[in-house]
Structure 1
Amino acid sequence: MQLKSLATAKMSAKAAALLAAGVLTLTACGGSSTPAASEGGIKLINAGKLTVCSDIPYEPFEFQKDGKTVGFDIDIANEVAKDLGAELNTVDSSFEAIETGTALTQCDVSISSISITDTRKSVMDFSTPYLDDDLTLVASTDSGIKSLDDAKGKKVGVQQATTGAEYAKDKGIEAQQFEDTGLLVQALQAGTVDAALGNQSVLGYAIKDDPKFKSVEDFATGEKLGIAVKKGNTAMLEKVNGTLKRLTDDGSLEKFKTTWFGQTAK
């Protein structure tokens, strides 16, 4: 119950932050919601800024460190902003707002470890995939849990509104849901849940230096991550895809993966 209360409070804070971002946007535009064009002719919500919605914290994709937002997704977002000749402006948004496309009323793009699914493609457009990210089950080394079958009947935690949550439901597991992975990992470390089901990249990063926990089973879901833009915004989509191609061709994307995931990401 305590963790649920914390998650609710965090959600309210995020909603307030998103609303505030909207107010600032209107103020910056002189009361107009008409997007301003960047140097490349791409229309931006805030003139001279690429406004990006991310669900923070979601280490190692996006999180706060030394007063700055950093992470794998943020490195990519910075490159998109650079190619646009714009400054990066990151807005902390709930993942629910991101996956339903609501966040794109306040942001130019959403980049937050978003799995490309048919449901999400119906409300937003996606870039070419920039990472393959399957699921893994993590448990303490002394839990006795060696597979998902072992976890049935025990307390399994997931992040709400994610493919991990959907996978647990499909496998008949009544999982405890958390608003973000930060709260999920805290619950695992505190023993509030016996195991956590989520993406290999995020959970692998969270436990890589903690010998008390290990990944006990992986699940090949074919999950691919993409950058989301508002439905029909082909100009922005082409620009984002151009940046991703550049990063792939010059080896930068692979360097980002090594920096943030080490050997945990494919």
Structure 2
Amino acid sequence: MKTSKYLMSGLLAAALATLAPASQAAGDTIRIVTDPTFPPMEMTIDGKRTGFDIEMTEALAKAMGKTVAWTDIDFKGLIPAVLSGRADAAMSAIYITDKRKQAVDFTDSYYAGGLVVLTKDDSPIKTLKDLDGKRVTVQVGTKSVGYLQEHFPKVHRVEVEKNQEMFNLVGVGRADAAVTGKPAAKLYAQQNPGFKVLDEQITTEAYGIAVSKNEPELTKAFNQALKTIKENGEYDKLIQKWFEGKKP
């Protein structure tokens, strides 16, 4: 009887854990995790989250009649947070990849980015081929790590936790270049004289919101809201604000 009682308790707990994420998203609040260290997509200014991803997510939630409960975590923990049920979704300039789609669902793509090379103006790195043998810094948990391993095996990777750390290492000469997302690299080069982004892009990628596979209705609601803000002009306003009028 004791064993049976414990077994039933365990099954009940497992069932409740499975239902918890769905019931949470079905309410008025969507729990979303982000890593606000990737301007202009997401960042923290004066203690407040801002950026294209942040404002667009808030606009989507408004169109859905919901509010967002944000939680800040490192990029490498975003997908695990969704998988564990601690979050309903992750919004943080996440590339839609086949590997990630095995673990989570994705909304329709809301912006096209890609991997690029940031280096100094006087750097000998002029083309992608010049990366061979160089010290290239990348952020842990991003596609940059695996991509360099597979396609640029002669590169000496310097892995760090935050985007800003990559830029700092290039600035002080401890890395020859950084491989990161195009929006952040472009913005950094614009704001910091002496840096450039190579014209030759490494990849072209689609950004999407990662959603728990337990919440297919949430994915559908996000997609419908995205159509709504594109039709009412709000999406274009955000593009104008954060990307200087350059549409994806």
TM-score grouping bracket, smaller chain normalisation? 0.7 to 0.9
**What secondary structure, in the 3-state scheme, does the structure 2 residue paired with 1:197 have?**
strand
1:123 alignment partner in structure 2: 103
Report the Cα distance in structure 2 between the residues aligned to 1:254 and 1:76, rounded to whole angstroms: 10
Residues 108, 100 of structure 1: CA spacing in aligned structure 2 closer, same or farther, 3 A cutoff?
A: closer
Report the Cα distance in structure 1 between the residues aligned to 2:83 and 2:170, rounded to whole angstroms: 29
Correspondence for 1:98 among 78, 85, 91: 78
1:39 alignment partner in structure 2: none
Residue 86 in structure 1 maps to residue 66 in structure 2: yes
1:209 maps to a residue whose letter is Q
**What secondary structure, in the 3-state scheme, does the structure 2 residue paired with 1:219 have?**
coil
* RMSD between superposed Cα atoms in Å: 2.4
Residues 219, 193 of structure 1: CA spacing in aligned structure 2 closer, same or farther, 3 A cutoff?
A: same
2:8 alignment partner in structure 1: none
Q: Unaligned 5+ residue runs, structure 2?
A: 1-15
2:218 alignment partner in structure 1: 236
Report the Cα distance in structure 1 between the residues aligned to 2:201 and 2:52, rounded to whole angstroms: 22
Correspondence for 1:148 among 121, 128, 132: 128
Q: Unaligned 5+ residue runs, structure 1?
A: 1-31, 37-41
1:163 alignment partner in structure 2: 143
1:254 maps to a residue whose letter is D
Report the Cα distance in structure 2 between the residues aligned to 1:112 and 1:103, rounded to whole angstroms: 16
Give 1:35 shift: 4.3
**What secondary structure, in the 3-state scheme, does the structure 2 residue paired with 1:175 have?**
strand
Residues 134 and 219, structure 1, Cα contact 8 Å, conserved in 2: yes
Larger Rg belongs to? 2
Report the Cα distance in structure 2 between the residues aligned to 1:201 and 1:219, rounded to whole angstroms: 12
Report the Cα distance in structure 1 between the residues aligned to 2:24 and 2:218, rounded to whole angstroms: 9
**Segments ≥4 residues shifted beyond 6 Å:** none
1:259 alignment partner in structure 2: 241
Residues 33 and 81, structure 2, Cα contact 8 Å, conserved in 1: no
Correspondence for 1:201 among 156, 175, 183: 183
Residue 56 in structure 1 maps to residue 36 in structure 2: yes
Give 1:121 shift: 0.5
1:225 maps to a residue whose letter is Y
Q: How many residues align?
A: 230
Report the Cα distance in structure 1 between the residues aligned to 2:108 and 2:232, rounded to whole angstroms: 17
Report the Cα distance in structure 1 between the residues aligned to 2:171 and 2:240, rounded to whole angstroms: 25
**What secondary structure, in the 3-state scheme, does the structure 2 residue paired with 1:88 have?**
strand
1:241 maps to a residue whose letter is N
Residues 229, 97 of structure 1: CA spacing in aligned structure 2 closer, same or farther, 3 A cutoff?
A: same
Give 1:261 shift: 2.5
Give 1:164 shift: 2.0
Give 1:258 shift: 2.6
TM-score by length of 1: 0.78
Residues 259, 232 of structure 1: CA spacing in aligned structure 2 closer, same or farther, 3 A cutoff?
A: same
Residues 265, 189 of structure 1: CA spacing in aligned structure 2 closer, same or farther, 3 A cutoff?
A: farther
**What secondary structure, in the 3-state scheme, does the structure 1 residue paired with 2:53 have?**
helix
Residues 232, 45 of structure 1: CA spacing in aligned structure 2 closer, same or farther, 3 A cutoff?
A: closer
TM-score by length of 2: 0.83
Report the Cα distance in structure 1 between the residues aligned to 2:57 and 2:218, rounded to whole angstroms: 13
Residues 35 and 47, structure 1, Cα contact 8 Å, conserved in 2: no
Is the deviation greater in 247-256 or in 97-106? Answer: 97-106
2:118 maps to a residue whose letter is V
2:12 alignment partner in structure 1: none
1:50-95 Cα deviation digits (max 9, x unpaired):
2110012121111111221111110111012213333322101222
Give 1:118 shift: 0.8
Residues 133 and 223, structure 1, Cα contact 8 Å, conserved in 2: yes
Residues 62, 44 of structure 1: CA spacing in aligned structure 2 closer, same or farther, 3 A cutoff?
A: same
Give 1:186 shift: 2.0
